[in-house]
Amino acid sequence: MQELYTKLHKFDLDYAIKLEETDRQFIALKELINMQSEKKVALALVVANSIICYQLSGTWENYWEEFSLYFSSKKISYENIVSQLSEFIKQSKNNKRFIDTKIKRLEKVKVALELLKNKEEYFYNNMTELRDLLAKTMKQKITDKTIVFAVKMFGYVGRNIFSFVAYPKEIFIPIDSRLTNLFEKYKWEYTDINKFYLDLSQKLDIPLLHLDWIVWINYEELMK
């Protein structure tokens, strides 16, 4: 790990935040919030969409831009989030796979959305509780990619509605192929990938969800 830490130690949280604001997904969600009158409902919409954001048929950036464009002109409410998202993915160009399974996941996440209603700012200030609520509702692990990714996207939207809040340090990073490759290269005596990144995050003093985009942007250099 020490070699990876040496390559990353020059970066800090401010750098991570500036990088995140160049993320096409962040920009797409900012545009959605600017266009939506129901800004707090959009937080729940984004959480629900994150739960079905896997096995995409297009890039993640293209999918979130498609999502933002579609919902910018829609009247949304807590009552129609699931039905509108279901209709959206049926005609989406970038999320064509496992439609029936994803619609079932949307039906399942309704419980969490009901508990989120009128408590959006509370959960934004207590994102660990949102993670736990989603994991319990979906019957998944708190480290699962869709769970932590939902919190990340919730945070992206939240900072465009409320004042900035950093991601909690105890929320894990969404593990993808790039993070797996870096782990295999630098793991030393580590056998648990989540423990590896948690320790790296603590050493760098950068929350894992903020470290995520730093690693993504600098991946090619880090793999040399």
What pLDDT does 80 receive?
A: 96
Residue 183 pLDDT exceeds 90: yes
Q: Is residue 106 part of a domain?
A: yes
52 and 148 both lie in a single domain: yes
Give pLDDT tens digits for 204-215: 999 999 999 999
| pLDDT digits 0-9 by tens, 106-142 | 999 999 999 999 999 999 999 999 999 999 999 999 9
Contact predicate 219/13, CB 8 Å: no
Decide if 166 is inside a domain. Answer: no
Q: Is the dihedral of CA 180, 211, 35, 115 positive or negative?
A: positive
Does residue 164 sit within a domain? no
CA of residue 116 relative to chain centroid, distance: 17
Catalytic residue positions?
A: 145, 176
Which residue range is the domain that position 184 belongs to? 2-19+171-222
pLDDT at res. 30: 97
**Cβ-based neighbours of 163, under 8 Å, separated by 6 or more:** none
Q: Find the mean pLDDT for residues 64-92.
A: 97
Nearest to 38 by CA among 67, 72, 82: 72
Residues in the chain: 224
Q: How much is the pTM?
A: 0.95
Q: Is the pLDDT of residue 223 over 90?
A: yes
Does pLDDT of 193 surpass 90? Answer: yes
pLDDT of residue 12: 96
Residue 1 has pLDDT above 90, yes or no: no
Do 133 and 36 share a domain, yes or no? Answer: yes
Residue 109: give its domain's CATH number. Answer: 1.10.340.30
- If asked whether residues 43 and 79 sit together in one domain, one would say yes
